[in-house]
Amino acid sequence: MELSFVKERIEHAVLCKQLANIVGTCYVEYWGRAASKLPKGKRLLMIKGDGSFAIHQNRLLRPTNYMMGSTIGCELSDDTLIITASKLHPKETMKVIFYNVDDLQSYEMDEASDLRLFGSERELSDQLMQDLSFLEAGLKPLNQEEVLRKGLVDILAEDKEGRLVVIELKRRQADFNAVQQLKRYMDQVQNMKGKKTRGLLIAPEIRKNARELLEKYGLEFFAIDFEVSNPSTKIKGLQKKQKTLFEL
Amino acid sequence: MELSFVKERIEHAVLCKQLANIVGTCYVEYWGRAASKLPKGKRLLMIKGDGSFAIHQNRLLRPTNYMMGSTIGCELSDDTLIITASKLHPKETMKVIFYNVDDLQSYEMDEASDLRLFGSERELSDQLMQDLSFLEAGLKPLNQEEVLRKGLVDILAEDKEGRLVVIELKRRQADFNAVQQLKRYMDQVQNMKGKKTRGLLIAPEIRKNARELLEKYGLEFFAIDFEVSNPSTKIKGLQKKQKTLFEL
DNA sequence: GCTGGGAGAGGCTTA
DNA sequence: TAAGCCTTTCCCAGC
């Protein structure tokens, strides 16, 4: 395609906040949080109405190069079309040099609509909050998403012995990070409240090493079995995997 | 566009592992790791040769719905075209119901080429390894295969007092996680070697709360100043921000 | 295959 | 704006 024509079409699409796809042979440079060069090759550049700018190759979900909320410019130079994307905070620039453009399409799109997602951690937390006795008899909810000075506790409760119970919920296999997150919260709550405190990690499963760490810390793991059925999420079972510190 | 024609074109593109973009009005359902529904609206579906399957709206870098490495199927039903993507491990399915298709493009693409990236953590680590005296006089790199290969730490060294020094490097602002990771590794190395061990966190900056935790643990923070200049990365400065435990 | 961890993470929510 | 953190994180390197 004639590059001067492509330039006009792109400028129009950007102005009208259309979604535009440009396919052609290009070379890409990026400089900002890091720096990168992508050798000349056939790629697809997708530009969205909000300044999303992405170079795609024919594999992987994620674009090879990208920029969010960019300002876009076009210029012709030496039989090439140079498309630049740039932004501040952090300062980043990307230069895409097209040697030829095979195709250019642009589309007037709807307003984006929201995805209704089921089975998120937040939804699980809500379900669990409905009935903590699922977890342990006599457990009473104190607060959901209790804000700590550092971070957010998923659920704070009190057990039948009057001990504080800090609960961290994960929708997938728990790892080191989850364990340490819980430990951090438990320590903090214990410090703030000056009461005996337990820490519960709830997840579908836990990695072996993470579990060792958890046990070393005296935390408790509960395996949760849930189903992301329609239209919401159902907790099917909850099984205790550790004795509490106080039972040992 | 005529949906039966679209169906054939898509099947051909998938078979030939082309990159295909379908734009039209559709409704999307996903079920797998979670579940979701996306109301009817105008979207772009991008299918790549490796089974990447992504529903894009006209905002944000990331697709609204997606699946990697999927198997793709097409069928006509009641004046709609249903495109399904599915995979095992984990079992996931996605159904895209097109009520009409405005446009369909497919492209024969090159083999994807590798991005040459500068300023990655790995590259910074290599640079730092070149000259540890940048960090502290008398610091000597240790090539402790077992520790380094296991990926426990970025760099292991010995200071002039003969203490082990565990170094964790972050290319961006260090957070809680970075501090706890370092602490975990330091404990582990200390256990393995049975020697006095220091833990150094090197990052451009550190979050306030993370820093408090770091100080509580007796770890040390060094602010690194680096530049991702072309063609590689240059460390411009390195400033110690904490006294060591042993100096206190 | 599982595990660990980085990423130019992205993106959301709340202080 | 910054902090904190979840994500259908994605993706890769090791084992």
The CATH code of the domain that includes B96 is: 2.70.180.20
- Residue B246's pLDDT is 58
End of a domain among A74, A107, A140? A107
Using pLDDT thresholds of 50, 70 and 90, give the confidence band for residue B231.
confident
Q: Is residue B220 part of a domain?
A: yes
User: Are residues A218 and A139 part of one domain?
Assistant: yes
Q: Which residue of chain A is at minimal alpha-carbon distance from B210? A: A150
Residues with pLDDT less than 50, chain A? 248
User: Are residues A68 and A37 part of one domain?
Assistant: yes
- Residue A105's pLDDT is 98
Q: Is residue A71 part of a domain?
A: yes
Q: Is residue A248 part of a domain?
A: no
End of a domain among A47, A79, A107? A107
B112-166 confidence digits (pLDDT tens): 999 999 999 999 999 999 989 889 999 999 988 888 888 889 999 999 999 999 9
pTM (global) more than 0.85: yes
Tokens 């298709």, residue?
B101
Average pLDDT value for chain B: 94
Tokens 């996306």, residue?
B38
Does residue A65 reach within 7 angstroms of strand C, measured from its CB?
A: yes
User: Are residues A210 and A152 part of one domain?
Assistant: yes
User: Are residues B31 and B73 part of one domain?
Assistant: yes
Q: Is residue A101 part of a domain?
A: yes
φ and ψ of B229, to 5 deg: -85, 170
B163-215 confidence digits (pLDDT tens): 999 999 999 999 999 999 999 999 999 998 899 999 999 999 999 999 999 99
- Residue B56's pLDDT is 98
User: Are residues A216 and A136 part of one domain?
Assistant: yes
**A102 touching chain B per CB within 8 A:** yes
- Residue B84's pLDDT is 98
Range of the domain at A102: 3-107
Overall domain count for chain B: 2
Domain of A126, CATH number, reads: 3.40.1350.10
- Residue A16's pLDDT is 98
**B106 touching chain A per CB within 8 A:** no
User: Are residues A143 and A53 part of one domain?
Assistant: no
A84-105 confidence digits (pLDDT tens): 999 999 999 999 999 999 999 9
**A52 touching chain B per CB within 8 A:** yes
Q: Which residue of chain B is at minimal alpha-carbon distance from A24? A: B109
